[in-house]
Structure formats: structure tokens, C-alpha cells
Amino acid sequence: MAEINNYIEYINEYARRDKIGLIAESEQRYRNIISAISGKISKSGYIKIIMLAGPSSSGKTTTAGKLSQALLKNGVKAHEISLDDFYLNREDAPLMDDGTPDFETVHALDLPLLKTKLSELLKNGESELPLFDFNVGRRSDKSEYLKLEENDLVIIEGLHALNPIIIQELDTEKILKLYVSVSSRIYDEKQRIILNKRNLRFVRRMLRDEKFRASPIEHTYSLWDSVLHGEDLYLTPYKRYADMLINSIHIYEPCVFGAEAIKMLKTLPPENKHFNDSQRLIRALECFEPIDSSLVPTDSLLREFLGSEENPLQS
């Protein structure tokens, strides 16, 4: 939807010359995508459900929020619903071959309930929605009543949002399917890959896990292979069903993430099976011109991974 220059030489030269300009250009590219999608939805007059899917650390949460804000400016109110609230109780989850619960499969969701609630929203404009209590691994006794006004719609966000099993019995004319992910690699001028898409998402997740979940890099690495396996099984096959794709890369992000990510990667002990990968990531991130994180706008998608920080340029 929007072309980008994803060569490290361009990124570094721009960062040395005009850090603020590089940031502004990257942020505007993402805003343009959100604005274009919002305009399409607003003009349609019939879309009532947006299914938003994407892999780990793709920026789904921020994208849903940004889209809601853009729609509101066009007179459309969006209500965000997480598929996580439709999980089966932990003891009812389907089992893998080794007998352990499989929380990644679409069948870990209460599909009949989900279809019923979406159907109610489409036909009646209202429904009583479940809430899931992750502290106890069960559906909460509380629920949330949602009533859609004439110009309202809902954004359904989650790993399985594009799985056709969810919407196969619904009026698909009123449903827009979106896929958000980091969809660009970063190359050098010799066409060698410096950071691939999964590298970029891993760095995002590593920072977020440490900052918001007090989770060390060893834990992020220990989960990553399983995360990717789940995406390959339950997300990637359905990407082709998306009506529109959102590339959430911000080409200056390695410049911002680099220093903190390198510090974390250097703590991985040599005996860890991911040590070689961590060293390769360190070498790649060291190639980028540093940009202080305080320059990242407070409303940037990157704040989903960096956390809040006052930007002196916005005060």
C-alpha cells in the first residue's frame, strides 16, 4: 500500500542527516495506511465487523486502536473485541498428542458461542459478550453488554481472526478482513538480508517481554519456536483471505531498539542453544545508526514495545 526504502544504507544515512525526518516519514507511512483503510470502511456504509489478525509483536493492539481513532474522525464508532475472551475454560481445552493442552488451535475457542455472538451483533446490533479471567483460566461470571448504534462497528482482534471457520455462517458482505505484520526485511545494497521479518518481530517481543512482563530474554527465546510453529499452523495459511494487508514496519526501529536489545542479547549465556542466533542479531543491530528512544512519538506503534516516555519535541 505504501512503498518504503528498506535498505540499511538509506536508513543510516537518513538517521545521521535528519533523525527527526526519518521518524516522521516512517510514522506518516503507517498513518497513511490506517487512514486509507478507515476511508474505505467509512465510505462503504455496510461494513459492521472487522476481523484483524496478525502474528506475535506485529502491532495488532496499536493498529486496532489507531483504526478506531481514525474511524471516529469519520463518524464511525468502533468497539474492540478480543478473541481471547472466547477461550474455553482451561480444563476444557483440546489436547495435543502428548496430552498437554493446545491453547494455540482455533478449537481452544468456544466456536459455537463466538458464532452466536457475532451473528447477534450482525442481525440485532446487540449482544452480551463473555469475559475471560486469565488469572484462573476460566470464563468470568461477568459479561459485557454491547449495543451497536447505526454507524457503529466492531473490530475482532486475535490470532485466529482470519480463520474461515469463524465467519463461514455469517454475512461476509458486512465483514472486512485485515492482516497486520512486519512485511519487509531490511537489506544492504548487495541484497543481503540484515534483519528478516521474524528478527524484527523477535526484537519487538524481547523488549516488550522484559519491560511489561518481567520476562528475561531466555524465556522469550524458549517460547519463540513454539510461537512461530503456532503461527505457521494457525495463521499463515489464512493470510490469503485478508482483504487488506498492513505492513507495520517502521524502518527506523532497529536504530531505536538496537542499544537496549544488544544489552539484553549479551546476557544470553554461551551454553544456551540460541546463543549463536543472539550473536548474529547483535552483529546486525550494531550496524544501525543509534536513535534515542525519547524521540519516538508518544503515540507511535513502537510505544507498544518501548513503553511510554515523554517526547520533548511534543511538549
Domain boundaries, the chain: 8-307
Read off φ and ψ for residue 61, nearest 5 degrees. Answer: -60, -50
- pLDDT level of residue 309 (50, 70, 90 thresholds): low
Query: Do 69 and 33 form a contact (C-beta atoms < 8 A)?
Result: no
Reply yes or no on whether the pLDDT at 311 is more than 60: no
Average pLDDT over residues 103-124: 94
- Name the burial class of residue 14, with classes exposed (0-12), middle (13-18) and buried (19+) by CB atoms within 10 angstroms of its CB: buried
Reply yes or no on whether the pLDDT at 154 is more than 60: yes
Q: Which residue matches cell numbers 466492531? A: 154
Q: To which CATH superfamily is domain 8-307 assigned?
A: P-loop containing nucleotide triphosphate hydrolases (3.40.50.300)
pLDDT above 70: percentage of residues in the chain: 97
Cell of 273: 542453544
- Looking at residue 313, its pLDDT comes to 36
Q: What DSSP assignment string belongs to the chain?
A: ------BHHHHHHHHHH-HHHHHHHHHHHHHHHHHHHHHHHHHHS---EEEEE--TTS-HHHHHHHHHHHHHHTT-EEEEEEGGGGBPPGGGS-B-TTS-B--SSGGGB-HHHHHHHHHHHHHHSEEEEEEEETTTTEEEEEEEEEE--TTEEEEEESTTTT-HHHHTTS-GGGEEEEEEE----EE-TT--EEE-HHHHHHHHHHHHHHHHH---HHHHHHHHHHHHHHHHHHTGGGGGG-SEEEE---TTHHHHHHHHHHHHHTTS-TTSTTHHHHHHHHHHHTTSPP--GGGS-TT-TTHHHH-----GGG-
Reply yes or no on whether the pLDDT at 28 is more than 70: yes
C-alpha distance from residue 101 to each of 12, 25, 175, 230, 281 (Å): 46, 44, 31, 13, 32
CB atoms within 10 A of CB 25: 16
Any residues with CB less than 8 A from the CB of 3 and at least 6 apart, and which?
none
DSSP character at residue 179: E
Average pLDDT over residues 96-114: 91
pLDDT tens per residue across span 71-98: 999 999 999 999 999 999 999 999 988 8
